[in-house]
Amino acid sequence: MKVLGLSGSHRHGNTEQMVKAALDVLKEKGFEVEYVSLADLDIKYCTDCGACKNAFTCSQKDDVMALLARMREADAIIAGSPTYFAGVSGRLKSFFDRTLPLRRQGMMLKDKVGAALAVGGSRNGGQELVVSQIHSWMLLHEMMVVGDRKTAHFGGICVGRSLGDALKDEVGMETVKNTALKVAEALGRLG
Ligand SMILES: Cc1cc2nc3c(=O)[nH]c(=O)nc-3n(C[C@H](O)[C@H](O)[C@H](O)COP(=O)(O)O)c2cc1C
């Protein structure tokens, strides 16, 4: 079974390290994993042109449709974002909007397992709101959302501002790893 990890940061920073740490746990458990940083992709806005109402296509010419095809092949998706003004990054939100073809053409993410990771510079800087925003996107795709386990949070949440800070947040990284273990547990039940 395959798990796709997405980082919604504009840079190769804390979110990336958290998503990769979660994927490492899943790889150790025997899952196939793939990492994608949205920072490396050209992502234009959804303009509500309606093209995806009739076919699995998009009028925007960029990197998004290729990524949507990869998402279709995953059994689980872990999406991470930095906290930006108590919400997901604009890059991740733009990408979420562009996933409309997946929903319109047969609810293609339905029943895939989904989990969320968030990092913010402040301890209570809105990371839970970010996780909730990611969960909402997953629920609109009829995915099966999981949180973490044992640490009893909503997903993986770290505090960090400078590059590498998240990895130093031991409590936060435990929630990241437990989120990955919860994804593994859910996939185990499905498989
Ligand atoms: C425009 C902007 C807005 C931010 N807003 C918040 C915020 O609301 N709460 C918070 O805790 N951190 C905030 N931060 C800090 C980032 O979430 C933090 O630096 C994070 O580690 C960045 O993740 P990255 O390294 O994956 O890009 C903000 C940073 C920027 C640049």
Ligand 1 centre distance from Cα of residue 120 (Å) = 5
Q: How far apart are CA 79 and CA 36, in angstroms?
A: 10
> Residue 132 is inside which H or E element, if any?
helix 127-140
- In this prediction, residue 123 carries a pLDDT of 94
Q: Given a cut of 80, is residue 180 above it in pLDDT?
A: yes
Q: How many helices (H) and strands (E) does the chain have?
A: 7, 6
Q: Which CATH architecture has domain 2-190?
A: 3-Layer(aba) Sandwich (3.40)
Secondary structure E strands in the chain: 2-7, 32-37, 76-82, 113-120, 144-145, 156-159
Instruction: Say how many residues make up the chain.
Output: 191
Atom number, ligand 1, closest to the C-alpha of residue 10: 27
Report the pLDDT value the prediction gives residue 112, as an integer from 0 to 100: 98
pLDDT at 191: 78
Assigned token pair, 170: 């031991």
- 169: tokens are 């947040």
Q: Express as a percent the part of the chain with pLDDT over 70.
A: 100
Q: In whole angstroms, give the CA distance from residue 23 to residue 126.
A: 24
Q: Measured in angstroms, how far is the CA atom of residue 5 from the centroid of ligand 1?
A: 20
pTM score? 0.98
CA 59: distance to chain centroid? 24
Cα 63 to middle of ligand 1, angstroms: 25
Contact between residue 116 and residue 135 where contact means Cβ atoms under 8 Å apart:
yes
Q: What is the pLDDT of residue 82?
A: 98
Residues with CB under 6 A from ligand 1: 9, 11, 13-15, 82-86, 119-122, 125-126, 160-161
Contacts of 50 (CB under 8 A, 6+ apart): none
Place of tokens 């909007």: 97
pLDDT at 151: 87
Where do the structural domains in the chain lie, given as residue ranges? Answer: 2-190
pLDDT at 15: 98
Structure-token pair, residue 139: 């629920």
